[in-house]
Structure 1
Amino acid sequence: MTWLLVFILIGGISFTQDLSYSQRNHNYYTERQIKESQPEGNWKVLPFPVMVSFGNGNVRYAKATVPLHTVQKNWTVTAWKGEKVHTQLLVWTNKPLKEVSFTVHLLKDAKGKVIPAENIKAGFVRYVITDEFAGGCGYRKPVDFDSSLVADAVDIIGAIPVEANTVQPLWLSIHVPQTAEPGNYSGSITVKADKSYTLSYTVQVINRTLPSPDQWTYDLDLWQHPAAIARVHGVALWSDEHFELMRPYYTMLAGAGQKNITASIMDEPWGHQTYDDFPSLIRWVKKKDGSWFYDYSLFDKYISFVMDCGIKKRINCYTMVPWALSFRYFDEALGTDTTLKAAIGSEEYNTHWTSMLTDFTQHLKDNGWFGITTIAMDERPMKDMQVVIALLKKVDPEWKIALAGNYHPEIEKDIFDYCLASSLQFDQHVLSERIAAGKPSTYYTCCTENYPNGFTFSPPAEHVWLGWYAAAKGFTGYLRWAYNSWVADPLRDSRFRSWPAGDTYQVYPGPRTSIRFEKMIEGIQDYEKIKYLQKEWSDKNDEESLKKLNEALRVFDIEKLKTVPAEEMITRAKKILNQ
Structure 2
Amino acid sequence: MPSIRPFRAALLSLTVALPVFAAEPAVWGEGMMVKVRPGTAARSATEVRLTAARNEFVSFQVALQGGDTGLKNVRAKLPALEGPGATTLSGPDVTLYREALVSTKKASVAGEAVGAWPDGLVPDTDEIAGETRGAFPFDVPAKEARAVWVDVHVPQDAPPGDYVGTVTVEADGGFQRQVTARLTVVDAALPSTSSLPSAFLLWPPHVCRAHTGREDCTPEELQPLLARYQRMALEHRFTLSSLFPRKPWPPAWSDFDATWGPYLDGTAPTRLQGARMTSLEYVGPLDAANLRDFTAHMKERGWLDRAYVQLGDEPPYGTTFEQVRATGDLVRQAAPGLRTMLTTNSRELKGNGLEKHVDVAVPLVNHLDGTDANFRGDQRGTYTGFLERPGTALWMYQSCMSHGCAYGTNAPENQPGAGWPSYMLDRSAAKARAMEWVTFLEGATGELYYQTVGMLSTAWTDQYRFNGNGDGTLFYPGTPAAIGGKTDVPVASLRLKLLRQGMQDYEWLKAVSDAGDPDFARKVARDLIPAASRVTDDGAAFDAARLKLIQRYEELTAHQTPDAGTPLDAGTPPDAGTKPPADGGTASAPEEAAGGPSRGTPGSSSDVAPGAVAGAQAGGCTTGGGGTAAVAGGLLFAAWALGGMRRQRARVTVPARRKQARR
TM-score by length of 1: 0.71
SS at structure 1 position matched to 2:120: strand
SS at structure 2 position matched to 1:207: strand
| Cα gap change, 1:358 to 1:481, in 2 (>3 Å) | closer
Q: How many angstroms does 1:441 deviate by?
A: 2.5
State whether structure 2 residue 107 is matched by structure 1 residue 132.
Answer: yes
Contact 1:464–1:523 at 8 Å: present in 2 too? yes
The equivalent of 1:178 in structure 2 is: 156
Stretch of structure 1 that moved more, 78-87 or 89-98: 89-98
Per-residue CA shift, 1:394-450, capped at 9, x if unaligned? 224333211123222443454233321002336448569859956552210111102
Q: 1:397 corresponds to which letter in structure 2?
A: P
The equivalent of 2:119 in structure 1 is: 152
Q: How many angstroms does 1:83 deviate by?
A: 1.2
Alignment equivalent of 1:441, drawn from 375, 394, 398: 394
Alignment equivalent of 2:87, drawn from 113, 128, 135: 113
Q: How many angstroms does 1:314 deviate by?
A: 2.9
Alignment equivalent of 1:245, drawn from 210, 222, 225: 225
| Cα gap change, 1:358 to 1:475, in 2 (>3 Å) | closer
| Cα gap change, 1:459 to 1:300, in 2 (>3 Å) | farther
Give the distance between the partners of 1:55 and 1:564, measured in 2 at CA.
19
Give the distance between the partners of 2:22 and 2:254, measured in 1 at CA.
60
Matches within 5 A, 1:260-271: 261-262=241-242
Contact 2:83–2:164 at 8 Å: present in 1 too? yes
SS at structure 2 position matched to 1:516: helix
Unmatched 5+ residue regions in structure 2? 1-19, 124-133, 269-275, 369-378, 404-419, 479-489, 552-663
State whether structure 2 residue 307 is matched by structure 1 residue 373.
Answer: yes
Stretch of structure 1 that moved more, 159-168 or 236-245: 236-245
Contact 1:319–1:375 at 8 Å: present in 2 too? no
Contact 2:64–2:146 at 8 Å: present in 1 too? yes
SS at structure 2 position matched to 1:528: helix
The equivalent of 2:428 in structure 1 is: 459
| Cα gap change, 1:558 to 1:386, in 2 (>3 Å) | farther
| Cα gap change, 1:178 to 1:370, in 2 (>3 Å) | closer
If asked which structure has higher relative contact order (CA below 8 Å, sep 6+), I would say 2
Q: 2:308 corresponds to which letter in structure 1?
A: T
Give the distance between the partners of 1:386 and 1:166, measured in 2 at CA.
57
Contact 1:55–1:88 at 8 Å: present in 2 too? yes
The equivalent of 2:527 in structure 1 is: 555
State whether structure 2 residue 164 is matched by structure 1 residue 211.
Answer: no
Unmatched 5+ residue regions in structure 1? 1-43, 136-144, 265-279, 284-294, 321-351
Q: How many angstroms does 1:203 deviate by?
A: 0.6
Contact 2:26–2:42 at 8 Å: present in 1 too? no
The equivalent of 1:308 in structure 2 is: 262
Contact 1:461–1:567 at 8 Å: present in 2 too? yes
Q: How many angstroms does 1:61 deviate by?
A: 2.1
Contact 2:37–2:146 at 8 Å: present in 1 too? no
| Cα gap change, 1:368 to 1:73, in 2 (>3 Å) | closer
| Cα gap change, 1:119 to 1:353, in 2 (>3 Å) | closer
Alignment equivalent of 2:477, drawn from 504, 509, 512: 509
Contact 1:435–1:441 at 8 Å: present in 2 too? no
SS at structure 2 position matched to 1:241: helix
Give the distance between the partners of 1:366 and 1:177, measured in 2 at CA.
33
Q: How many angstroms does 1:68 deviate by?
A: 2.8
| Cα gap change, 1:108 to 1:521, in 2 (>3 Å) | same
SS at structure 1 position matched to 2:218: coil
The equivalent of 2:182 in structure 1 is: 202
Higher strand share: 1
Per-residue CA shift, 1:209-234, capped at 9, x if unaligned? 2112x2x2111221112222211221
Per-residue CA shift, 1:325-358, capped at 9, x if unaligned? xxxxxxxxxxxxxxxxxxxxxxxxxxx8346545
Contact 1:553–1:573 at 8 Å: present in 2 too? yes
Q: How many angstroms does 1:485 deviate by?
A: 2.3
The equivalent of 1:332 in structure 2 is: none
Q: How many angstroms does 1:560 deviate by?
A: 6.6
| Cα gap change, 1:319 to 1:121, in 2 (>3 Å) | same
| Cα gap change, 1:514 to 1:396, in 2 (>3 Å) | closer
Identity, % of aligned positions: 19
Alignment equivalent of 2:52, drawn from 79, 90, 97: 79
Contact 1:108–1:185 at 8 Å: present in 2 too? yes
Alignment equivalent of 1:521, drawn from 492, 500, 505: 500
Give the distance between the partners of 1:252 and 1:90, measured in 2 at CA.
25
| Cα gap change, 1:150 to 1:529, in 2 (>3 Å) | same
The equivalent of 1:91 in structure 2 is: 64
Contact 1:128–1:491 at 8 Å: present in 2 too? yes
Contact 1:484–1:507 at 8 Å: present in 2 too? yes
Q: 1:103 corresponds to which letter in structure 2?
A: K
Q: 2:262 corresponds to which letter in structure 1?
A: D
Q: 1:449 corresponds to which letter in structure 2?
A: S
Q: How many angstroms does 1:374 deviate by?
A: 2.0
State whether structure 2 residue 368 is matched by structure 1 residue 388.
Answer: no
Q: 2:281 corresponds to which letter in structure 1?
A: N
Give the distance between the partners of 1:366 and 1:394, measured in 2 at CA.
19
Alignment equivalent of 2:361, drawn from 390, 413, 418: 418
Q: How many angstroms does 1:253 deviate by?
A: 0.7
State whether structure 2 residue 45 is matched by structure 1 residue 102.
Answer: no
The equivalent of 1:333 in structure 2 is: none
Give the distance between the partners of 2:222 and 2:291, measured in 1 at CA.
29
Give the distance between the partners of 1:513 and 1:433, measured in 2 at CA.
37
Contact 1:91–1:167 at 8 Å: present in 2 too? yes
Q: 2:30 corresponds to which letter in structure 1?
A: G
Give the distance between the partners of 1:298 and 1:134, measured in 2 at CA.
46
Q: Alignment length, in residue pairs?
A: 457
The equivalent of 1:480 in structure 2 is: 449
Contact 1:74–1:201 at 8 Å: present in 2 too? yes
Per-residue CA shift, 1:32-58, capped at 9, x if unaligned? xxxxxxxxxxxx96641x211112322
Q: How many angstroms does 1:301 deviate by?
A: 4.0
Q: How many angstroms does 1:561 deviate by?
A: 5.0
Contact 1:102–1:190 at 8 Å: present in 2 too? yes
SS at structure 1 position matched to 2:523: helix
* CA RMSD, Structure 1 to Structure 2 (Å): 3.1
Contact 1:282–1:299 at 8 Å: present in 2 too? no
Per-residue CA shift, 1:518-544, capped at 9, x if unaligned? 0000010110121122112x1xxxx5x
Q: 2:314 corresponds to which letter in structure 1?
A: E
SS at structure 1 position matched to 2:362: strand
Stretch of structure 1 that moved more, 476-485 or 237-246: 237-246
Give the distance between the partners of 1:492 and 1:76, measured in 2 at CA.
34
Give the distance between the partners of 2:532 and 2:360, measured in 1 at CA.
28
Give the distance between the partners of 1:549 and 1:367, measured in 2 at CA.
37
| Cα gap change, 1:548 to 1:432, in 2 (>3 Å) | farther
The equivalent of 2:340 in structure 1 is: 401
The equivalent of 1:58 in structure 2 is: 33
| Cα gap change, 1:366 to 1:57, in 2 (>3 Å) | closer
Contact 2:84–2:160 at 8 Å: present in 1 too? no
SS at structure 2 position matched to 1:249: helix
Contact 1:62–1:151 at 8 Å: present in 2 too? yes
Contact 1:261–1:306 at 8 Å: present in 2 too? no
